[in-house]
Structure 1
Amino acid sequence: MIKKLLVYMPALNEEETIKGVLNSIPSIIDGFTSIELLVVNDGSDDKTEEEAKKAGATVITHLQNRGVGTAFQSAVDYALKTKADVMVSIDADGQFDISQIETMISPILEKKADFSIGNRFWDTKPHKMPKIKFIGNKQMSRIISFISKVKIFDASCGFRAYSRNCLLNLNLQGSFTYTHETILDLLHKGYRVSQIPVTVKYFEGRVSRVANNLFVYGFQTSKIIFKSFKDYRPLPFFLTIAFIVFMLALLMAGFVFVNWFNTGMVTPYKSLGFIALALFGMSLLISVLAFLADMLNRIRENQEKILFLTKKKYFEED
C-alpha cells in the first residue's frame, strides 16, 4: 500500500536557511513510499520561494503575509488534495533536529496516537530561550491543559505530525496561529496525542516570526483560546460568568440589607439595591444563555461530523 508523507514548512523571509533545512530531510523514511516537501511562502519579500524550489519543494505562495494559522490551513488543504497519509510541520529556520521526524511520526504509524506534538521542555528550559518566552509558553500550556483536560507540556511547539483523519477533521478559525486551537479541536473530538521530547536551538539575535511582540502574541493567542473555551465548553464558560455576576449582586444586596437592618432605611444605598437587582436578572439570563450555548454546541458537533464525512468522500473521490 502506498503511503505518502508530506513535510510542511511555513516560511517568511527564510532565504538564508530554508534550502539547507529542506536538503537535510531524508528522501527515504521507513513506513512511507513517497515523501513530498511543501513550503507555504507567507508573503516573503526575499528569495525564499526560489531557494525552496531549488531544493525540490512544492511552494504555495501567499502574496501578502496572512499569518501562520492561514499558512497551516493552506498546507492542510494541499495535504488532503494530494492524499497525504501523514503531514509533519516543522520550522524553516533550522531550529529543530530534522532526524527527529521519524520519532515524531512513529506513534501515528504504530497506531498509538493520532497526532504528535513536540515537547521542548522535557528536560529544562532550552538553551538561549528568553526567560519571558519560556514562562509565557508554560502558562499557555497550563491554560490549554485546563480547557482540554489533558496534560499538555508544550502547547506552542510548531514541530508536529498529523494523521490523515486528523487533517480531515480539523476546522480552525484563527489566522494568527494554529498551535493551540489545533490541540483543543483534536482532543475535543477524541483524538489521541503523543508528546515527543525534541531538541531545539535558539539563535542569537533572531526575532520570532510569530512572537516577535510578546504582548501582541499573548493577546492574539488569548483571543483564540477564549473563543475555543467558549465553543468547546460553553456550559462551564457561561455558568462561571453567571456565578461571578450573581456573587457580585449578592454582595451588593447583602450590603444594602445590612444597612437596612441596622438603620431601618435603604437610603443612601437605594441605587446600589437597584444595581444588585439588575445583576441578579443578568445572572439569570446568562444562565439561560449557558444552556442554549450547550445545545448549539451539540448541533455544531453533529455538523462537524457531517462535514468530516463529506470531506472524506470529497477528497477520496477527487
Structure 2
Amino acid sequence: PTTVSDYQDLYNYLKPFKKDGKSVLVSIILPMYNEENTIRLILEKLPKNELIEIIIIDDFSSDNSLKEIKKVKHHNEFKIIHHQENRGYGNAILTGMQYTTGDVIVSMDTDGQHSPDDIFSLIKPIFDGKADYTIGSRYLGSYHYRLPIVTRLGEILVEKFFRVFFGIKVMNNQNGFRAFTKELIPVFSNAKFLGYAFCTEQILQAKLSEHKVLECPIKVYNREYGYSKIKLHILTLNILASLLIYYLIKFKLNLLRKRKTIKGFLW
C-alpha cells in the first residue's frame, strides 16, 4: 500500500533546521512484533538521509522479521533494539524513545497500514511551531478498507469524552502514526498503560502537560498480511481506565491552580 515517494522536498525542508554539531533531526521509531511480510517493504519505502535515523524495536518476534530486515540495503545503518520478552506496544515505543537523538520523533506501525510519505505531514507542524504532538487521522485523510462498526462507535465515544472533559479535538485516537517533540519524552516516560491504550494515554499526557495537540490527515490502508494483535475487550477497559485516571489528574491540577490563585490574591 505504501507508495514510492521523492523525499527531496522533505530533505530540503529539514536542512535549515540543522544545527552545528547535530546531525539527526528526525527519529523514526518502528515497533515490530512478527511482521515478516511487511517490515522489509516499509523499510525500503522510508526516507533515507543523514538527518533521519530509523530505530526498530523488536518486541520478541518469533518469525523471520529480523531476517527480512537484513535483506534491506544499508540495514546496518538501522538501530535495532531487542526485547527479551514480549512487552507490548507501549513499552516498545518507550524503549525506542531511549535511543532517539532527533528533535522530532515519529512513531509508525509496521503492519503496512501506514504510508511513509505522510511523515512530512506529521513533522512539519512541529518544526513550524504549530504543534508539539501530531496524530495521523484517516478521517481527515483517507482509508481504503471497511471499518468495523464496533471500532467506529468506540472512537466516537472516546472522541466525545476528549471534547467534553479535556477540550481535545481528536477523532482517530488509536492511530499509531504520530510525531512529537523530544520535550515530550519525559512526559510519556511516566505512562501507566503499556499496551495499545498507550496511544490514547499519550494524547491525554500531552494535553495535561499543556502541549499543543494537532490531528493531521494521512492515508490508512487495509492490513494485507498477518492479524491484529489488539484484544478489543482489554483495550476498551484500559482506555476507559485511562480516561478516568487522567480526568482525576486534571481535576487535581485545576484544584491546585485555584488554590495558588486564591493564595496569591490574599497574600
Q: Which category describes the TM-score, using the shorter chain as reference length?
A: 0.7 to 0.9
Q: Deviation per CA, 1:35-55, whole angstroms, max 9, x where unpaired?
A: 111111112111223323443
- Equivalent residue in structure 2 for 1:68, among 84, 89, 95: 89
State the alpha-carbon separation in 1 of the partners of residues 180 and 162 from structure 2.
Answer: 19
Distance 1:117 1:142, change over 3 A: same
Aligned position for 1:59: 80
Aligned position for 1:19: 40
User: Deviating runs (4+, > 4 A) in structure 1?
Assistant: 123-126
What's the CA shift for 1:160?
A: 0.4
Aligned position for 1:199: 219
Contact 1:53 1:59 in 2 (8 A): no
Report 1:70-149 matches (<5 A): 70-79=91-100, 83-122=101-140, 127-149=145-167
What's the CA shift for 1:123?
A: 6.0
The residue identity in structure 1 corresponding to 2:111 is: D
Aligned position for 1:40: 57
The residue identity in structure 2 corresponding to 1:202 is: N
Contact 1:120 1:197 in 2 (8 A): yes
- Equivalent residue in structure 2 for 1:175, among 171, 194, 200: 194
State the alpha-carbon separation in 1 of the partners of residues 182 and 225 from structure 2.
Answer: 37
State the alpha-carbon separation in 2 of the partners of residues 123 and 77 from structure 1.
Answer: 31
Contact 1:12 1:44 in 2 (8 A): yes
State the alpha-carbon separation in 2 of the partners of residues 87 and 65 from structure 1.
Answer: 23
The 3-state SS of whatever aligns with 1:161 is strand
The 3-state SS of whatever aligns with 1:93 is coil
Q: Percent identity?
A: 26
Distance 1:189 1:115, change over 3 A: same
The 3-state SS of whatever aligns with 1:152 is coil
Return 5+ residue gaps in structure 1 as ranges.
Answer: 237-293, 299-318
State the alpha-carbon separation in 2 of the partners of residues 137 and 88 from structure 1.
Answer: 22
Contact 1:116 1:193 in 2 (8 A): yes
The count of corresponding residues between Structure 1 and Structure 2 is 232
TM-score (norm 2): 0.78
State the alpha-carbon separation in 2 of the partners of residues 125 and 103 from structure 1.
Answer: 16
State the alpha-carbon separation in 1 of the partners of residues 71 and 103 from structure 2.
Answer: 25
Contact 2:133 2:211 in 1 (8 A): yes
What's the CA shift for 1:191?
A: 0.7
Contact 2:106 2:180 in 1 (8 A): yes
The residue identity in structure 1 corresponding to 2:195 is: F
The 3-state SS of whatever aligns with 1:8 is strand
What's the CA shift for 1:58?
A: 1.5
Return 5+ residue gaps in structure 2 as ranges.
Answer: 1-18, 260-267
Contact 2:58 2:80 in 1 (8 A): yes
Is 1:9 matched up with 2:27? Answer: no
Contact 2:29 2:108 in 1 (8 A): yes
Q: Deviation per CA, 1:111-155, whole angstroms, max 9, x where unpaired?
A: 111111111112677522222212212222222333321221211
More strand by share: 2
TM-score (norm 1): 0.67
Contact 2:176 2:199 in 1 (8 A): yes
The 3-state SS of whatever aligns with 1:10 is strand
Contact 2:113 2:222 in 1 (8 A): yes
Contact 2:143 2:219 in 1 (8 A): no
| Higher relative contact order structure (alpha carbons within 8 Å, sequence separation ≥ 6) | 2
What's the CA shift for 1:207?
A: 2.7
The residue identity in structure 1 corresponding to 2:194 is: S
Contact 1:117 1:160 in 2 (8 A): yes
What's the CA shift for 1:205?
A: 7.5
More helix by share: 1
| Most deviating of 69-78 and 51-60 | 51-60
What value does the CA root-mean-square deviation take over the aligned residues?
Answer: 2.5
Distance 1:53 1:205, change over 3 A: closer
